[in-house]
A and B are shown apart, each in its own frame.
Chain A
Amino acid sequence: MSGLLLEVREVHKVYGEGATATHVLKGVSFAIDRGEMVALIGASGSGKSTLLNILGTLSRPTSGEVAMLGEDLTRADDVTLTEFRNRHIGFVFQFHHLLPDFTALENVMFPSAVRAGRERAQARARAATLLAQVGLSERADFRATQLSGGQKQRVAIARALMNEPELILADEPTGNLDRQNAMQVMDLLERINRESGTGFLISTHDEQIAARCSRRIVISDGVIAADRHSDR
């Protein structure tokens, strides 16, 4: 599967107004094809999270356009955007953010259940498969609070995959993990990318993580400073 997945055109983001206004993104443009695994690199405060949140339709750009799968995401209303990201976008955050009152399996099922209005048997089966893929079959019925940091992050990855999204936005997914766990998570993301062709945009300031992606976009001072394909 190839073709255009995401298109970003002249995106600006300004926080605040007047004297305290912070111009974080100053005209960011790039495109991502289906199945790409892209690293987004930049110093702390360079605007990586800001950009990911805009691409994830969680916040809106001050100006510019974002289109995904041919749909304009800058002008759609909240309900449309909510439905869009439920179907097409998965998230992995630095701090896993599982729902603490739910088990690992229930957390993985969430994106499906919240759309269907109930937890379907099919979804349960798929969630179990995903948990097996991330190596957590025996932890399926553990509450989120009973899992280790690395385990939580793997549950979060399984949750991001639940609705078979075309794009997963991962904001420093290994930032909170030790090296061994970080590499384990990257192995997992790489395998998912290879096997199911899910596109990834992974923000990081870790060179070792970036090196495992097929492309690296460097953001600096609110603009894209470099954009290189590499052979992993």
Chain B
Amino acid sequence: MLYGAKMAWRHLGSAPGQTALLVAGVAAAVFIFIFMSALIGGLAELLVMRTLGNQADVTVAAPDPPLPVLVPVQGRHVLAARQASTSPSLGLAAPRAWEATLAAFPGVQVVAPKLLGSGVLIRGEVTRPVTLSGLEPGRESAIIRFDRAMLAGTAALAAGEVLIGEKLARDLGLSVGRAVTFRADNGNSVTLTVSGIFRLGLGQLDEAAAFVPMSTAQAVLERPGRVSVIELKLDDLYAAPAVAARIAASTGLDVTPWTETNAQLFEALRAQGNTGLILKVFAMITVVIGIASALMLTTFRRRGEIGIMRAFGATRRFILYVFVLEGALIGLAGGLAGALLAAAALSPFPPIEEVQTGQLPVDLGQGSIGLAIWLTTLGATLAALLPARAAARLDPVEAIQQ
């Protein structure tokens, strides 16, 4: 159908102003489509990075048998409910074996055990309450990215060393190489050397947390061979609920995906995604309506020609083809122009990791450029179908009499 293509091309070329305007309109819609995709994607990425960057995607703990709540009814005690225990459990035994099991689940990227306890850090007169975390040496930065947040020293922990946040260091007047005493709630004490100071920008971690090697934590907390939780990072953040469910079902452990601990964030991300989707759908509807109405005018204006073409042997299919192709060409041209425009306009934006407060987090990589071009061409083709069909069905006699 080379000849039909030539005809479509001529038609578009015969009204260059109208064609340019149509293409520009489509390009604008495509630009909005890509911009919205890039912005929503970038915003989600930034939020996730800021909020979840230093959290586990899935947290695995020993099952916590719920406590029975018994209520006296007619002289007997009846089970009314089960309530989660508030006292810390003893933790998971045999963590090495669990680690291997968990690492084998598809989608699991990193496995890192953690032992939690509480106490105070004491230096001279000054005392500060802290949460103590025991981390596996070599995997200190597996969940919380200390490696990206060090102000002084290193994030690697050796026996008897401690990592603390900038605020806490300032409060206690500590610097790298200085000693500090940790006293656990159980009364045990240990003297630690500061190996590194970090700034994560997260209040709790920067001012009330201390990180020590696993063995040190197990000793001072009197939990030999045990860990509180095993934390996981996944290949796909959004697979967390599914992976968590799978792990819980096959291990019987207490498994919590980030979507539960950060339900609000998860909801916000979803709402944001839906808003973006609505805007994108409207951008596409604009394309479809614009092209359909423009082609309706075109086919109306060309009624006489259509009649003549039919008289001289153009089949209905030929007419249909010509006008559908016109729509498709406008869609494709507008899609490409809009994509180019978007690429040019969005590429100066910094990568999400470097976005400063007040800057738009735009991730061109999430702009769905290919999808935008494809959808626009498809939408334009479908939009052209109706007027093209009407043109193909014109009664040649009536059309010629115009």
Contacts and interface: CB of A to CB of B under 8 A. Distances in A.
B311 A99 contact: no
B390 to A, nearest CB: 16
B309 interface: yes
Interface in A127-186: 159, 163
A117 interface: yes
Nearest to B304: A97
Contacts of B356: none
A159 B11 CA distance: 20
A108 to B, nearest CB: 11
Interface string B299-318: 00000110111111111101
Interface in A88-115: 91, 93, 97-102, 110-111, 113-115
B308 A119 contact: no
Given A97-B305, A101-B13, A101-B14, A117 B3 contact: yes
Interface residues of A, number: 30
B311 A85 contact: yes
A59 B308 CA distance: 14
Given A58-B311, A116-B3, A53 B397 contact: yes
B316 A78 contact: yes
A115 B317 CA distance: 12
B396 interface: yes
Q: Which of B10, B311, B400 has the most CB of A within 10 A?
A: B311
B2 interface: yes
Q: Is the interface of B mostly helix, strand, loop or mixed?
A: helix
Most B CB within 10 A of own CB, among A59, A85, A101, A111: A101
A114 B3 contact: yes
Contact of A59 (B1, B3, B11, B397): B397
A100 B305 contact: yes
Interface in B276-311: 304-305, 307-311
- Which size bracket describes the interface of B in this complex? 20 to 34
A203 interface: no
A101 B315 contact: no
Contact of B14 (A59, A97, A100, A119): A100
Contact of A115 (B304, B311, B313): B313
B397 A111 contact: no
Contacts of A93: 308, 400
B171 interface: no
A100 B311 CA distance: 16
A86 B312 contact: yes
Contact of A58 (B6, B14, B396): B396
A125 B70 CA distance: 103
Nearest to B398: A59
B395 interface: yes
Contacts of A119: 3, 6
Nearest to B11: A101
B302 to A, nearest CB: 9
Contact of B309 (A53, A59, A114, A118): A114
A22 interface: no
A115 B11 CA distance: 19
Nearest to B317: A79
Given A58-B397, A59-B395, A59-B397, A99 B309 contact: yes
A83 interface: yes
Contact of B313 (A86, A98, A99, A118): A86
Nearest to B15: A101
Contacts of A159: 312
A31 to B, nearest CB: 23
A159 B313 CA distance: 12
Interface in B156-213: none
Interface in B357-402: 395-397, 400
Contacts of B310: 58, 82
A97 B310 CA distance: 12
Contact of B312 (A102, A110, A116): A110
Nearest to B308: A97
Contacts of B2: 117-118
A79 B395 contact: no
A97 B399 CA distance: 11
Given A111-B312, A118-B3, A97 B10 contact: no
B145 to A, nearest CB: 63
B312 A114 contact: yes
A102 B6 CA distance: 10
Contacts of A114: 3, 309, 312-314, 318
B14 A111 contact: no
A87 B313 CA distance: 8
B311 A56 contact: yes
B312 A101 contact: no
Interface of A: 53, 56, 58-59, 78-79, 82-83, 85-87, 91, 93, 97-102, 110-111, 113-119, 159, 163
15 contacts: A56-B311, A78-B316, A79-B316, A82-B310, A82-B313, A91-B312, A97-B308, A99-B305, A100-B305, A110-B312, A114-B312, A114-B313, A117-B2, A119-B3, A163-B313
Q: 7 closest pairs, A vs B, by CB?
A: A86-B313, A101-B14, A101-B10, A97-B308, A118-B2, A111-B312, A58-B396
Given A82-B310, A101-B14, A113-B3, 6 more contacts: A86-B312, A110-B312, A111-B312, A114-B314, A115-B313, A119-B3
